[in-house]
Amino acid sequence: MCLWEIHIPVISNNGSFRFLKALSRPVAVTGLMLSGLVLASCSAPTSGGADKVSAALSAPVVSEYQGTPARVRRISSEKYANTVKHIFGNDIEVGSPFAPLRRTDGLLSAGAASAGVTLGELQQIQRTASAIASQVIDKGNIELGTPARRDFLIPCSPAIETAADDACAEKFIRPTARLLYRRTLPDEDISYFVEEAHKAAESLDDFYLGLASVLEGMLMDPKVILIADTTELDPDDSSQYRLDAYALASRLSFFLWNAGPDHALLDAAEAGELFSREGRARVIDWMLASPRVEEGMRAFFDDMLDFEKFGNLAKDAEIYPMVTGVTLRDAREQTLRTIMDLLFEREADYRDLFTTRETFMSPALATVYQIPTTPGWVPYEFPEDSPRIGLLTQISFLTLNAHPARSSPTYRGKALREVLLCQPVPRPPPNVDFSVIENPKLNYATQRDRVNAHLENPVCAGCHKITDPMGLALENFDGAGRFRAMENGTRIDTSGSLDGVVFDTVEGLAQALHDHPALPSCLVNRMYSYGTGGPLSKKDNPAIKALTAGFEQSGYNVPDLVRMIVMNDAFYEIVTDSDSSQSAAMHAPTAQSVAAN
């Protein structure tokens, strides 16, 4: 049995958010009783050093901000799991209670603002919630040597294990509910949960089962699985709405930590610190100093780089026997380690990510890179005369953007445009004839010969002109990311161009990308969208332009960019007119306009 209160998310005309209660109290339901739910569009703070506070306070201010629309978005499986694990411990098995999100404007997280919960998902959520609750009250096994989780997750023991104990139940429910609901619940709600735990304990003759039934209901409550932008009037401007303190704390936490807020952040929200520039600077500095920020920033770059595709990526085992599941897992990890080290540990120029030769190496990757293996993960730097330079020549990018049995200049060029420059490439028309390039009798010597066949077809040429010249510069790397100088006995030509910059080698491509003006502006676009929880609109243009200028002034320092985003009022102000629903306008030039020029 689980407890469920149906709340229908409603955004009013003035932009404020509320839950419309369809039922006055939670009711016991089974999986088939609900037809589904449709959505609308701990480290404690320290006083902090003056230098860190001034760093946040010196973030440029967006003077002509517009803010974002109030949104209700479905929590992702990863954010849900992280929240549960931060509350109950990393050994809690959560699984994947939700279906994958749809990628929107380059981000999975942006798709959460238009996601829904089907009947099948609802049943899976209930099973997940039940499994988590059972683990929390687990009494362990002495024979197997497994400890009783209940002994350290529940802060008290009942007077009688076979009966209700309201005082003990409240000691567990009150702080747990605060973290799950991401706000302090009123006493009447806590009393209701305690009453339900009492009834269930009496019915089941077990205090812990009674507690588990209430926890299960909380874990699948719409107010937990939906991240709602609850709003209030800005006290300094009666015509302007803003996120309330709890919603702002959630926005900060899901952005920076990829999980719900902890007690310290909720305390800061309740104290009003998040709406004071000095208070928010202090909070942001200790959030960025927390070890949890690594998890948050890794999640952002994993989303931005389309790395969820690794879950279904496979290579032809006969052609690439060295590429195993471990290889692909490590390829993803290598890039994320490189990003965290270069951008957050050393706070280097973001653009250097595409020209650096420094990375990390594992035994599985060393086999593909064709270098000596060393146990475990170790720092590694490719020599200056190596063709390995920057993210584009790492196995993650090369394998993810290739066919199962061969490389793909088109896939690689398309990924460079769309993922790194925010320039959408048009989809091929439905009537394209691929027989010219797929015919095995034609025996193309190289991939350059194969893709050049596209240029002979006017229907294909337009798109391939904006993808292939960059992708061909990566043809020294096969579909597994291994280096090769020859293909079918023919020396590979790696010459190409990127928006007017001509080069002969992959080093030239790396430098051209490093210097491309759309590279940093694309990161700003993606990070602001990710942080605010939805796709951008024309209303976001002033904020994006100001943030991009500030990013440049900072020397393209990513932690400074994070500070700029969260310190500006645009991060929490709410727009209320119909223009907020317009589709995003990219500040980087589109691939089509680049090609035309």
Tens digit of pLDDT for each residue in 518-548? 999 999 999 999 999 999 988 888 888 999 9
373 contact partners, CB below 8 Å, separation of at least 6 = 363, 366, 367
Residue 292 covered by a domain: no
Burial group, residue 440, by CB count within 10 angstroms (0-12, 13-18, 19+): exposed
Kindly compute the dihedral angle of the four CA atoms of residues 283, 285, 289, 295, in this order, to the nearest 10 degrees: 70
Any idea which of 54-58, 82-86, 151-155 has the lowest mean pLDDT?
54-58
Res 450: pLDDT: 73
* Same domain for 319 and 210: no
Res 15: pLDDT: 36
Domain end among 228, 260, 289? 228
Res 52: pLDDT: 47
Q: Given a cut of 60, is residue 485 above it in pLDDT?
A: yes
Res 328: pLDDT: 97
* Same domain for 503 and 367: yes
- pLDDT band at residue 32 under the 50/70/90 scheme: very low
- Report the amino acid identity of residue 45: P
Residue pair 115/74 in contact by the 8 Å Cβ criterion: yes
Residue pair 42/86 in contact by the 8 Å Cβ criterion: yes
- pLDDT band at residue 34 under the 50/70/90 scheme: very low
Domain end among 210, 228, 246? 228
121 contact partners, CB below 8 Å, separation of at least 6 = 36, 97, 98, 99
> What's the rounded mean pLDDT across residues 392-411?
95
pLDDT digits (tens, 9 = 90+) for 454-476: 666 655 655 678 888 999 999 99
Q: Give the whole-angstrom CA distance, residue 426 versus residue 416.
A: 14
Helices 558-567 and 518-532 sit at what angle, rounded to 10 degrees? 50
60 contact partners, CB below 8 Å, separation of at least 6 = 546, 547, 549, 550, 553, 564, 568
Strand partners for 486? 491
Q: Given a cut of 70, is residue 443 above it in pLDDT?
A: no
> What's the rounded mean pLDDT across residues 129-155?
90
More confident residue, 297 or 62: 297
Q: What is the DSSP letter of 581?
A: G
* Same domain for 460 and 316: yes
pLDDT digits (tens, 9 = 90+) for 251-300: 999 999 999 999 999 999 999 999 999 999 999 999 999 999 999 999 99
Which range, 117-126, 435-444, 548-557, is most confident? 548-557
Q: Given a cut of 70, is residue 183 above it in pLDDT?
A: yes
Res 56: pLDDT: 62
Residue 487 covered by a domain: yes
Q: How far is CA 396 from CA 257, 281, 338, 400, 494, in A?
A: 24, 36, 12, 6, 20
> What's the rounded mean pLDDT across residues 192-200?
98
Percentage of the residues of the chain whose pLDDT score is greater than 70: 81
Res 144: pLDDT: 74
Query: Quick one: which of 118, 17, 132 has its CA closest to 72?
Result: 17
- pLDDT band at residue 146 under the 50/70/90 scheme: confident
Residue pair 286/279 in contact by the 8 Å Cβ criterion: no
Any idea which of 100-104, 198-202, 591-595 has the lowest mean pLDDT?
591-595
> What's the rounded mean pLDDT across residues 83-104?
92
pLDDT digits (tens, 9 = 90+) for 352-365: 999 999 999 999 99
User: In the structure encoding, which two tokens stand for residue 507, read together?
Assistant: 């080093």
Q: Give the whole-angstrom CA distance, residue 536 versus residue 515.
A: 25
> What's the rounded mean pLDDT across residues 354-382?
96
More confident residue, 451 or 512: 512
Which residue range is the domain that position 304 belongs to?
300-515
Count of residues for the chain? 597
Q: Give the whole-angstrom CA distance, residue 526 versus residue 421.
A: 10
- pLDDT band at residue 484 under the 50/70/90 scheme: very high
Query: Quick one: which of 114, 92, 118 has its CA closest to 104?
Result: 114
Domain count, the chain: 2
Q: Give the whole-angstrom CA distance, residue 584 versus residue 118.
A: 27
Res 453: pLDDT: 65
Q: Give the whole-angstrom CA distance, residue 543 versus residue 491.
A: 48
Res 518: pLDDT: 96
| Residue 515 CA to its chain's centroid (Å) | 26
Q: How far is CA 261 from CA 265, 490, 569, in A?
A: 6, 57, 20
Residue pair 471/416 in contact by the 8 Å Cβ criterion: yes
> What's the rounded mean pLDDT across residues 323-335?
97
Relative to beta strand 573-575, strand 68-69 is parallel
* Same domain for 450 and 311: yes
* Same domain for 503 and 420: yes
236 contact partners, CB below 8 Å, separation of at least 6 = none
Residue 259 covered by a domain: no
Residue 274 covered by a domain: no
- Report the amino acid identity of residue 536: L
Q: Give the whole-angstrom CA distance, residue 263 versus residue 44.
A: 8
User: In the structure encoding, which two tokens stand for residue 119, read together?
Assistant: 């009947």
Averaged pLDDT score across all residues of the chain: 84
Pick left, alpha or beta for residue 533 (phi over 0 → left; psi -120 to 50 → alpha; otherwise beta).
left
* Same domain for 341 and 480: yes
Res 437: pLDDT: 53
Q: Model pTM? A: 0.86
Q: Given a cut of 80, is residue 334 above it in pLDDT?
A: yes
Give, for 490, the enclosing helix (H) or strand (E): strand 490-491
pLDDT digits (tens, 9 = 90+) for 167-178: 999 999 999 999
* Same domain for 503 and 366: yes
Q: Given a cut of 70, is residue 75 above it in pLDDT?
A: yes
- pLDDT band at residue 592 under the 50/70/90 scheme: very low
Q: Given a cut of 90, is residue 65 above it in pLDDT?
A: no
* Same domain for 94 and 176: yes
User: In the structure encoding, which two tokens stand for residue 266, read together?
Assistant: 């909720």
More confident residue, 60 or 492: 492
> What's the rounded mean pLDDT across residues 195-223?
97
579 contact partners, CB below 8 Å, separation of at least 6 = 537, 538, 539
Res 173: pLDDT: 98
Residue 593 covered by a domain: no
Any idea which of 224-238, 363-377, 533-547, 552-566 has the lowest mean pLDDT?
533-547
Residue 337 covered by a domain: yes
- pLDDT band at residue 447 under the 50/70/90 scheme: confident
Place of tokens 């007017």: 500
Res 581: pLDDT: 39
Domain end among 515, 531, 551? 515
Query: Quick one: which of 19, 30, 23, 3 has its CA closest to 195?
Result: 3
* Same domain for 13 and 98: yes
More confident residue, 440 or 83: 83
Q: Given a cut of 60, is residue 50 above it in pLDDT?
A: no
Give, for 27, the enclosing helix (H) or strand (E): strand 27-29
Res 147: pLDDT: 82
Give, for 228, the enclosing helix (H) or strand (E): strand 226-228
Any idea which of 289-303, 318-332, 580-594 has the lowest mean pLDDT?
580-594
> What's the rounded mean pLDDT across residues 130-144?
90
Q: Give the whole-angstrom CA distance, residue 61 versus residue 570.
A: 9
Residue 525 covered by a domain: no
* Same domain for 321 and 224: no
> What's the rounded mean pLDDT across residues 211-221?
97
| Residue 490 CA to its chain's centroid (Å) | 42
- pLDDT band at residue 64 under the 50/70/90 scheme: low
* Same domain for 307 and 223: no
> What's the rounded mean pLDDT across residues 386-402?
97
Residue 438 covered by a domain: yes
* Same domain for 170 and 23: yes
